[in-house]
Amino acid sequence: MNHDEVFKRAVDFLKGIKTTDNVVVIFNNDGDGICSCILINKYLKDNKPYIISQPMPTEKNLIRKVQTTVPGKIIILDIAIDQQQSVLKNLSGMADILIIDHHQIFRDMNSDNIVHYNPRFEKSDIYKSASYCTYKICSALQDISEFLWIAAVGAVSDYNLDFSQDLVKEAVKKYSLKTSILYETHFGRLADMISAAKATKALTCEEMVQIFGEMKGPEDFSVKDGNKLIESFKTIENEMMSIMADAEQSAEKKGKILFYNIKSRYNLASPVSTKLSEKHLDKLVLVYEKTGNKIKLSGRNQAKKFDVGRIFQTAARGLKASGGGHDAAGGATLDAKDWEKFKERLEEITG
């Protein structure tokens, strides 16, 4: 099934949702996933869905959570659920499913009751955020341009806007921006606020969906708990300055890889790996931390000289580990006992 056919099926899926349908939205617990969920909420309006945030891979109790809602329709946003066949099989037994994703495609899951939309069906190296895709699909049904700023924040949260320049141009014009580098605008600050609120645990992802959904625009923080976004941003900004100074001193370079063992009470591996990658474009940047007997890591290469997601997938094979992601960004979790072997594989793969 080609890209245009799947896009039409995605549009028809949303169009076919009735006000009486019990809709469950499962979304990735990052800025892109959050903004995608907000856009779906805006489209559905009065049919307020039950929303569930999830990491990748999804939590073991996801099926039980969804079962308790007795879903009529399920929408999965910004999650590579095609890499979790058993989870998807269980979910598809409960209701018809729409998947809007942009990660590397593991398997085409399109079937009679599953719509699997991913821009990579058109071309494997296309990188468009889930927020971008969700905005375009919803826009095919109704004018949601007043929520363009939400799509922009989601796209900025995922960093790569190379294939989303139509959205960038629309945002620059609509909001009279002085630059087309959206991260340098208030959209970038909002993306950072989402990341900060998640890191400090000041707000859940579901609470952030609620807050952004009530905001009248990108500069409206008068809504309930809007101040928590600002406070979290200030806290994390100070923490990031300290971490980046330490990283420049203590990061370990091995071949084409830069390893940094982050130590912070906040979950900052992802934003730190991004900022380090911006400074070390020739390296595969890997930020890791040990939690119990697990190693969790975030990898980046903003210059896209390495296919980070595929490298992590390859290095994880045969180990008690999981890994994946995008061309420029990825993540992995593994047993601490496999850490040295995993590092050796990364060095071998990158040459």
Half-sphere exposure of 28 toward its Cβ, with a 13 Å CA cutoff? 26
Q: Tell me the average pLDDT of the chain.
A: 94
What 3-state DSSP class applies to 202?
coil
Q: What is the pLDDT of residue 321?
A: 86
Q: What is the DSSP letter of 78?
A: S
Residues carrying CATH 3.10.310.40, the chain: 251-350
Residues carrying CATH 3.90.1640.30, the chain: 3-227
CA dist 202 and 230 (Å) reads 11
In DSSP notation, 278-347 reads HH-TTSEEEEEEEETTEEEEEEE-TT-SS-HHHHHHHHHTTSSEEEEE-SSEEEEEEEGGGHHHHHHHHH
List the chain residues with pLDDT less than 50.
Answer: none
- Geometric angle at alpha carbon 284, from 241 and 329, rounded to 5°: 80
CA dist 73 and 99 (Å) reads 11
- Specify the CATH architecture of the domain 3-227: Alpha-Beta Complex (3.90)
Amino acid letter, residue 311: I
Q: Is the peptide bond before 49 cis (omega within 30 degrees of 0)?
A: no
Q: What is the pLDDT of residue 231?
A: 97
- Specify the CATH architecture of the domain 251-350: Roll (3.10)
